[in-house]
Chains A and B, each alone.
Chain A
Amino acid sequence: MAMIDVDGLVRRFGKFEAVRGVSFQIEEGELFGFLGPNGAGKTTTINMLVTMLRPTEGEAHVDGHSVRTEARRVRESIGIVFQEPTVDEALTGWENLKIHADIYDIPMATFRDRAEEVLRMVELQEWRNKLVRNYSGGMKRRLEIARGMLHYPRVLFLDEPTLGLDPQSRVALWDYIREIQSRERITVFLTTHYMAEAEYCDRIAVIDNGEIVALDTPERLKKLVGGDVITIRTADNETAAKELFYDLQVEPEIEDGVVRFEAPNGAQALAQVFRTLTPEILSVDLHKPSLEDVFIHLTGRAIRDSEATEGEKLRSQMREGSAFGGMRMRRP
Chain B
Amino acid sequence: MRLRKEVRAGWSLFRRDMLKLFRERARIISALIQPIIFLGIFGLGLKDVLGGAGPFQELDYIQYIFPGIIGVNVLGLTITNGVTIVADREFGFLREVLVAPVSRLTIAIAKVCAGVGTALVQVSILMLLAPFVGLTPSIGVLVMLFFAVALLATATSALGVLIASRIRSVESFQYMFQFMIFPLFFLSGAFFVLSTVPAWIKFVANLNPLTYAIDLFRHILYSDIELNEASRSLLLVNSAGQDVVIIAVISGVLLAASAFSFSRME
Q: Which residues of A contact B (CB under 8 A)?
A: 50-52, 72, 75-76, 80, 82, 84-91, 95, 98-100, 102-105, 147, 322-326
Contact = CB atoms under 8 A, between A and B. Distances in A.
A87 B93 contact: yes
A75 B102 CA distance: 9
13 contacts: A52-B95, A75-B101, A85-B92, A86-B93, A90-B23, A91-B19, A102-B8, A103-B9, A105-B5, A324-B95, A324-B265, A324-B266, A325-B168
Q: Which of A76, A84, A99 is the most central at the interface, judged by chain B CB atoms within 10 Å of its CB?
A: A99
Given A80-B99, A100-B100, 15 more contacts: A52-B95, A85-B92, A86-B96, A87-B96, A88-B16, A95-B16, A103-B8, A103-B100, A105-B8, A324-B95, A324-B98, A325-B89, A326-B89, A326-B90, A326-B95
Nearest to B169: A325
B159 interface: no
Given A99-B16, A103-B100, A325 B92 contact: no
Nearest to A148: B96
A80, A322, A325 interface centre (most CB from chain B within 10 Å): A325
Contacts of A51: 99
B171 to A, nearest CB: 14
B99 to A, nearest CB: 6
B48 interface: no
Contacts of A99: 12-13, 16
Contact of B9 (A88, A102, A322): A102
Nearest to B1: A105
Given A90-B23, A90-B24, A103 B102 contact: yes
Contacts of A90: 20, 23-24
Contact of B101 (A87, A104, A325): A104
A80 B98 CA distance: 12
Contact of B11 (A89, A100, A102, A322): A102
A87 B91 CA distance: 8
Contacts of B12: 98-99, 102-103
Contacts, number: 77
B94 interface: yes
A191 to B, nearest CB: 16
Contact of A105 (B9, B20, B92, B95): B9
Interface in B220-266: 265-266
Task: Among B12, B90, B94, find the residue whose CB has the most chain A CB atoms closer than 10 A.
Answer: B12
* Among A75, A82, A102, residue most surrounded by chain B Cβ atoms (within 10 Å): A102
B95 A75 contact: no
Contacts of A324: 95, 98, 265-266
A76 B23 contact: no
A84 B88 CA distance: 12
Nearest to B20: A90
B266 A88 contact: no
A214 B22 CA distance: 54
B32 interface: no
A297 B201 CA distance: 75
Given A86-B92, A103-B9, A326-B89, A91 B16 contact: yes
B97 interface: yes
A84 B19 contact: no
Given A76-B101, A86-B96, A90-B20, A325 B266 contact: yes
Nearest to A74: B101
